[in-house]
Amino acid sequence: MVKLLPQINNLTIHNSAIKELTINNLTILNNVNPHNKSIEELKEIAAQVRRDIVRMVHAVNSGHPGGSLGCTDYFVSLYFRVMNYKPSPFNMDGEGEDLFFLSNGHISPVWYSVLARAGFFEVKELATFRKINSRLQGHPATEEGLEGIRVASGSLGQGLSVAVGAAQTKKLNKDNNLVYVLMGDGELGEGQVWEAAMYAAHNKVDNLIATVDRNYQQIDGGTEEVLSLGDLRAKFEAFGWHVLEADGNNFELLLPALEDAKRATGNGKPVMILMDTEMGFGVDFMMGSHKWHGVAPNDEQLEIALQQLAVQQASDY
Amino acid sequence: MVKLLPQINNLTIHNSAIKELTINNLTILNNVNPHNKSIEELKEIAAQVRRDIVRMVHAVNSGHPGGSLGCTDYFVSLYFRVMNYKPSPFNMDGEGEDLFFLSNGHISPVWYSVLARAGFFEVKELATFRKINSRLQGHPATEEGLEGIRVASGSLGQGLSVAVGAAQTKKLNKDNNLVYVLMGDGELGEGQVWEAAMYAAHNKVDNLIATVDRNYQQIDGGTEEVLSLGDLRAKFEAFGWHVLEADGNNFELLLPALEDAKRATGNGKPVMILMDTEMGFGVDFMMGSHKWHGVAPNDEQLEIALQQLAVQQASDY
Amino acid sequence: MKEFKYTEKKDTRSGFGAGLLELGRTNENVVALCADLTGSLKMDAFEKEFPERFFQVGIAEANMMGLAAGMTIGGKIPFTGTFANFSTGRVYDQIRQSIAYSGKNVKICASHAGLTLGEDGATHQILEDVGMMKMLPHMTVINPCDFNQTKAATIAIAEHEGPVYLRFGRPAVPNFTPADQKFEIGKAVMLNEGTDVTILATGHLVWKAIEAGHKLAEKGINAEIINIHTIKPLDDEAILASVGKTKCVVTAEEHQLNGGLGDSVAQLLGRNLPTPLEMIGVNDSFGESGTPDQLMEKYGLSTDNIVAAAERVISRK
Amino acid sequence: MKEFKYTEKKDTRSGFGAGLLELGRTNENVVALCADLTGSLKMDAFEKEFPERFFQVGIAEANMMGLAAGMTIGGKIPFTGTFANFSTGRVYDQIRQSIAYSGKNVKICASHAGLTLGEDGATHQILEDVGMMKMLPHMTVINPCDFNQTKAATIAIAEHEGPVYLRFGRPAVPNFTPADQKFEIGKAVMLNEGTDVTILATGHLVWKAIEAGHKLAEKGINAEIINIHTIKPLDDEAILASVGKTKCVVTAEEHQLNGGLGDSVAQLLGRNLPTPLEMIGVNDSFGESGTPDQLMEKYGLSTDNIVAAAERVISRK
Ligand SMILES: Cc1ncc(C[n+]2csc(CCOP(=O)(O)OP(=O)(O)O)c2C)c(N)n1
Ligand SMILES: Cc1ncc(C[n+]2csc(CCOP(=O)(O)OP(=O)(O)O)c2C)c(N)n1
Ligand SMILES: [Mg+2]
Ligand SMILES: [Mg+2]
């Protein structure tokens, strides 16, 4: 049985030019991910993370399972394969590391689970999610020093600006690593996103890979009913970005897309991945609508969900 | 000599379907403008307005001549030829009238001059501009009931939202008239503009004609240096708008463009005019840079400016 | 101490939803806007019954405020709905210019105010909204205490010409005020006449003040309890009359100590009638995730805190 | 009454510009951001000397705040510059979440605060910024009184770890504090010891308080005058000590009465030492266009207003 708990090797972080390696027939750039899992392993980790998510929101009868489940494969890819980082000791400044920012902070469950499973803090702390005196706030927060979080989010629309600023600091510091940021698609209604998009293109912030969780859902319904985003590729291209598309719920397609995105960096344009996901992915009754954006499963629903996600449960918290 | 002071005829405002008339070889839609001047007359009025502008900012050694001079021909076209409205008695609700909103409120001098010359209030009140206890605030304000102003502006980025809201009310009220709004190009850096743009397209607010004062200038320099707007047509088209271009400093080209814009209304899309203007137009030393965005001429400069604008001065205030 | 009875706990936001629905039926000028939180704001009944008067804005609160301002032109009475944080701090400048300074008849309806929002945590728990809104000239600020009062306030503000901030919350709280009450803006409600100490409470703290009144009565302390549902304009007369009698005051609110009801009272007293004052509120810290009760306890907003404050302030007479 | 001499009038914003330039030379981590107001903020010297550490954001203040938050990650100390209105109300939620709650080391530098901005009028004359910023946990709020003190404050805040709001203004005012002063955050500056009344002034009102002190001295009134350059944290100790002696207080500030220094003092006194208080500030109205002096006169912020308030409050002892 594959061990899922994180193995933190004392990796030396190389901050030098991008290297190319080939693993599992994929070309991996700048490969200093501390876990560097195979696709099979990633799938198991993703199942584990999804179980964490439904358990966490069930335990407090609040939180956001829909987007969390939809973005699980993306988070698992970043933290267990793609990003260069050092989980411990956590360094707020992140020099010599890739950085990740979550703008759509409501999907904190997936981030917390992945951070714990990747070695930033202990898995058992997941049980404190949304409870009083916890470091695992409803939306990501830095106040109590939770390892892995560099800025608070939850009020939508702010994360891209923060990520662009962090990317510019990396340039000032001659740090070659990359900055990643995830946003929701409903979140793109916020004008600040477009301010940041315009700024990043004008200033050639090309060490940045932004991703939109294109699940076509937001709270009040489908994005195209609430406030249609229409042709997002055309919008971001008109705003001066290099735009890629990806399937966010299929590692075989997502990993190459993330590698493509890396390759697209350094070319004078910020990079945007429009990532198709399904809200609630992995739990059939949570899929296909906006209903599970912010609703927790009851006991019975939890059991069904866990069965559907039962690749193996050895290390569940 | 042509009389420039407004002649307010007791027009009955027709709120019915759009009519077509032909005047000066131009097809005029829904022609109930209270002045309905010829191009020759418009040119004289524009010269008058430009003289008002430089005098007003000179008198208080503050205010914004650059954008005001650049947009003079647009304002004169709207108020003396294109828009359907009743200057007196001024009606805040504007039912049965076209409405105009100025989002880039700093170019208040041109609006004040045009409003006065069009009969909203007395021309001599222009002499109170930016002085204490005046109704002619540095930026347009409604507090003291200045006729012609329906919302305060000055803090940039807000006017498009207001105009869209007013346009939706017109639809609710089954009022066929149109809503006009002007924005600066530097102002497009504000995210709220893109929020409103997305909303207007999604909601098919097609009784709205927005215009961007595309003078390629803002306070700190050229727009393309400060924060490049790049291909604005592509941006607004990607945001779902019907986009037209116009030369804003040439009545022979501007009037047909405004008529084209009117014709484009009612087709399910909001209409955007990208209007090329020259900041400071009409006063040679104020043209070609951002320097006169917000600087008043001294005595000597005023004299030179007035000479250049001296079509005739009979009715100067 | 008077007895206050309730048969049911109900959330104040549902009082808003019920009031809005009634307004939809009685006042055809009432329109409603929501920024992707229709269910949370309990606006769905209005949306369903009056779809043509309901405007879904998407996640773009700044635009919503501008739209609402624009919709007043032509006679609509717009009610905007989103969380209190996004109703104030996110859009302060838009409210300031397009609504307050412009004197627009917009009703800003804000849910999930304060700590009792619960598990979502600090990014959503605004504790500064009253402070912001009461600084705005022309703004009326109302924070009713239960379902019935919120419903009555919602209906009352439609009759009031001018901008209003109406604050309410998420959790179910005792619904004890009369169902048929007439809500008088700016008129404090005497709940219990007493002689030893004046307790001025607003919003969710009103019920806790009543509970505190009972506990104080057991200790032989006769508290005067006043429901300050309108924080601006403050009912100076009622407060000064009460304080003149009791000679000491406790204020209680779900807000930062800075900027809230307590500060308004401190100012009133210092300028007119210096009197010992104790303030119940959050003491310059952000909230966090937890249940409403846990949070009110942890941050010092419980019934016992009011009791202790009353005893303290009496000892300072 | 002590004599205060000045050889020159200078604007406080130039003090900021000078301090920033010096910081550029002494602290390589200092970076500066500006939203299309480089000249108005006097940031041009910094931009010229340190172009790689200067970030022109364009007219997009929300983005600027997010960028600044992001730039702290990697060790930069960002100074943002725009008008006080656009530094606070326009971006409150961004400051709240990405800076204050996230504990980011950003210095929010705000010019053209208050009425003395002059001719631009109310849309730009923010009188609520101190109130907003002081409600934010973790935020330090500073309003220095002249060029030298603003320069010293600018330099001092770079050494202070955590978010700071630094407020200054447009007009030239007497530059009377020592050029070599050490600025101590949170430490009130005793200007004149007295026994009859305490005058607590901040920003541009400090000089007027000194003038008032002279006029009061002529009337035989011995005023204690304290410069409260730091409004948060407030120097409670210094204030209570002074009030304990004089038994009455006048506060003076270029701000709404609601939410400003006066409210902080009213709260402090009510909770500790109830004392007659008179407040000089704007009484719940917007400003307007006019010269700084005319406006200070019209809105009751003149030297004579302070004198009258002192006499009034003494009579209330
Ligand atoms: C500024 C702001 N406005 C509103 C909200 C409330 N809210 C939280 S999540 C959400 C919907 C987000 O939609 P999307 O970004 O598509 O995320 P998804 O529902 O797909 O997870 C809303 C409106 C918020 N958190 N912040
Ligand atoms: C929200 C906001 N930010 C900043 C300013 C200050 N400001 C006034 S005009 C201006 C430049 C506007 O550029 P543009 O829209 O192109 O107008 P133009 O200079 O061409 O007249 C700026 C930054 C403002 N008024 N409002
Ligand atoms: Mg979505
Ligand atoms: Mg321009």
Return the residue whose CA atom lies nearest to atom 9 of ligand 2: B106
Residue B12: band (very low, low, confident or very high) from pLDDT cuts 50, 70, 90: very low
| A311 — pLDDT class (breaks 50, 70, 90) | low
ipTM of the complex: 0.96
pLDDT digits (tens, 9 = 90+) for A89-124: 999 999 999 999 999 999 999 999 999 999 999 999
A317 inside domain: no
Q: What is the pLDDT of residues C127-180, one digit of tens each?
A: 999 999 999 999 999 999 999 999 999 999 999 999 999 999 999 999 999 999
B313 lies in a domain? no
Q: Which ligand is nearest to the CA of D117?
A: 2
Closest CA to B134 of C162, A302, D288, D211: D288
Average pLDDT score over residue span C59-77: 98
Q: Please judge whether A195 and D97 are an interchain contact, meaning their C-beta atoms are less than 8 angstroms apart.
A: no
Distance separating alpha carbons of residues A201 and D246, to the nearest angstrom: 60
Mean predicted confidence (pLDDT) in B54-83: 98
Structure tokens at D261: 């220094």
The dihedrals phi and psi of A310, each to the nearest 5 degrees, come to -85, 70
How many Å apart are CA D175 and CA B287, to the nearest integer?
38
CB of A303 within 8 Å of a chain B CB? The answer is: no
Q: What pLDDT was estimated at residue B315?
A: 52
Confidence tier at B239 by pLDDT (50, 70, 90) = very high
Which chains neighbour C (Cβ–Cβ under 8 Å, 3 or more pairs)?
A: A, B, D
Q: What distance in Å separates the CA atoms of residue A86 and residue A93, rounded to the nearest whole number?
A: 12
CA gap C267, D258 in Å, rounded: 8
Ligand nearest to the CA of D97: 1
User: Which of D96, D259, D286 has its CB closest to that of C137?
Assistant: D286
Q: What is the pLDDT of residues B153-174, one digit of tens each?
A: 999 999 999 999 999 999 999 9
Nearest to B155 among C68, C75, C93 (CB): C93
Specify the residue for token string 């335990």.
A59
- Tell me what percent of the residues of chain C surpass a pLDDT of 90: 100
| Pairwise CB contact (< 8 Å): C256 & D135 | yes
Which residue among B92, B165, B191 places its CB closest to the CB of C66?
B165
Give the pLDDT mean for C215-224: 98
User: Judged by CB atoms within 8 Å, which residues 41-100 of C form the interface with B?
Assistant: 52-53, 55, 57-58, 60, 62-76, 78, 93-94, 96-98
**DSSP-derived pairing of the beta strands D249-256 and D54-56:** unpaired
Q: How many CB pairs under 8 A join C and D?
A: 128
Q: What mean pLDDT comes out for the span B109-125? A: 98
Please name every residue paired with C107 in a beta bridge, in sequence order, or none if there are none. C79, C164
**Residue A74: its pLDDT value, please?**
98
Lowest mean pLDDT among A131-145, B22-36, B68-82: B22-36
CA of B172 from ligand 1 middle (Å) equals 29
A157 lines ligand 1 (CB under 6 A): yes
Partner B contacted by D298 (CB < 8 A): yes
CB neighbourhood size of D220 (10 A) = 7
Q: Give pLDDT, residue A317.
A: 65
Residue D183 is classified by DSSP as P
Q: What is the pLDDT of residue B310?
A: 83
The lowest-confidence range among A3-12, A58-67, C111-120 is A3-12
Shortest-distance atom of ligand 2 to CA B219: 11
B-chain residues near D34 (CB < 8 A): 220
**Token code pair at residue D127:** 């009188």
What residues does the ion ligand 3 have nearby, CB within 5 Å? A 184-186, 215, 217-218
pLDDT band (50, 70, 90) for residue A24: very low
What percentage of chain A exceeds 90 in pLDDT? 87
**DSSP states of B237-270 as a string?**
HHTT-EEEEEETT-HHHHHHHHHHHHHHTTSSS-
Query: Is A2 a domain residue?
Result: no
Task: Tell whether C118 is within 8 A of chain A (Cβ).
Answer: yes
Distance B115 CA to ligand 4 centre (A): 22
Residue type, D269: L
Does residue B315 fall inside a structural domain?
no
Which of B227, B238, B240 has the CB atom closest to A198's CB atom? Answer: B227
Distance D273 CA to ligand 2 centre (A): 47
Give the number of C-alpha atoms closer than 13 A to the C-alpha of residue A251, restricted to the C-beta side.
Answer: 22
- Give the CA diameter of chain B: 53
Please report which ligand is nearest the Cα atom of A291: 1
Q: A152 and D58: CB-CB below 8 Å? A: no
Q: Is the pLDDT of residue B11 over 60?
A: no
**pLDDT in the model for residue A310:** 84
Q: Chain B 175-194, CB below 8 Å of chain A: which residues?
A: 189-194
Tell me the average pLDDT of chain A.
91
Ligand 1 mean position to A68 CA, how many Å?
13
Interface contact C295, partner A, CB < 8 A: yes
B316 within a domain of the structure (yes/no): no
In-domain check, residue B122: yes
Report residues of chain D scoring pLDDT below 50.
none
Residue with tokens 């998009």: A197
Q: Which amino acid belongs to residue D144?
A: P
**Which residues of chain A have a Cβ shorter than 8 Å from any chain C Cβ?**
60, 62-63, 105, 130-134, 136-139, 141, 143, 152-157, 186-187, 189-191, 218-220, 226-227
Q: Is residue D115 a contact partner of residue D172, using CB atoms and an 8 Å limit?
A: no
Check A173 against D103: CB less than 8 A apart: no
What is the rounded average pLDDT of the residues A30-44? 90
Counting residues of chain B whose pLDDT is more than 70, the rounded percentage is 88
With CA atoms as reference, report the closest residue to B37 among B69, B83, B71.
B83
Q: How confident is residue A52, by pLDDT bands cut at 50, 70 and 90?
A: very high
Q: Determine the residue of D36, D82, D111, D123 to mutate for testing ligand 2's pocket, defined as the one with the most ligand atoms within 8 A of the Cβ atom.
A: D36
Indicate the top mutation candidate among B111, B226, B286, B293 to test ligand 2's pocket, ranked by most ligand atoms within 8 A of CB.
Answer: B293
Domain range holding B166? Answer: 11-308
User: A68, A156, A182: which to mutate for ligand 1, most atoms within 8 A of CB?
Assistant: A156
Q: Which domains does chain D have, with CATH numbers?
A: 9-174 (3.40.50.970), 189-315 (3.40.50.920)
Q: Round to whole Å and give the CA distance between C232 and B89.
A: 34
What's A175's domain CATH number?
Answer: 3.40.50.970
Please judge whether A155 and D62 are an interchain contact, meaning their C-beta atoms are less than 8 angstroms apart: no
| Burial class of residue A252 (count of CB atoms within 10 Å of its CB; 0-12, 13-18, 19+) | exposed
Q: At what angle do helices B39-60 and B251-264 cross, to 10 degrees?
A: 100
* The pLDDT of residue B288: 85
Pick from D119, D125, D299 the residue to mutate for testing the B interface (most B CBs within 10 Å): D119
Token pair, residue D166, equals 């630094």
Q: Establish whether residue A173 lines the binding site of ligand 1, counting it when its CB lies within 6 angstroms of any ligand atom.
A: no
pLDDT tens-digit map of A164-198:
999 999 999 999 999 999 999 999 999 999 999 99
C-alpha distance from B79 to closest chain C C-alpha (Å): 19
| B212 within domain boundaries | yes
pLDDT at B8 over 50: no
Nearest residue (CA) to ligand 2, atom 16: B186
Q: How confident is the model at residue B179 (pLDDT cuts 50, 70, 90)?
A: very high
Q: Exposure of A36 by Cβ count < 10 A (0-12 exposed, 13-18 middle, 19+ buried)?
A: middle
Looking at the domain assignment, is residue A6 inside a domain?
no
Residue C269 has pLDDT above 90, yes or no: yes
Tell me how many domains chain B contains.
1
Cβ pair A192:D66 closer than 8 A: yes
* Predicted confidence (pLDDT) at residue B86 exceeds the cutoff of 50: yes
Single-letter residue type at A18: I
Of A189, A231, A238, the CB nearest to B198: A189
With beta carbons less than 8 A apart as the criterion, state whether C135 and B182 touch: no
Q: What pLDDT does residue B316 have?
A: 58
Residue A26 has pLDDT above 60, yes or no: no
Q: What is the percent of chain D where pLDDT is above 70?
A: 100
**CA B66 – ligand 4 centroid, Å:** 9
Ligand 2 pocket: which of B57, B62, B137, B187 to mutate (most atoms <8 Å of CB)?
B187
Q: What is the pTM of this model?
A: 0.95
Residue nearest (by alpha carbon) to ligand 2 atom 4? D59
Ligand 1 atom at minimum distance from C37 CA: 23
CA atoms within 13 A on the CB side of B133: 3
pLDDT of residue B289: 87
CA–centroid distance, D93 to ligand 2, in Å, is 22
C59 lines ligand 1 (CB under 6 A): yes
pLDDT at position A31: 59
Average pLDDT over residues B243-266: 98
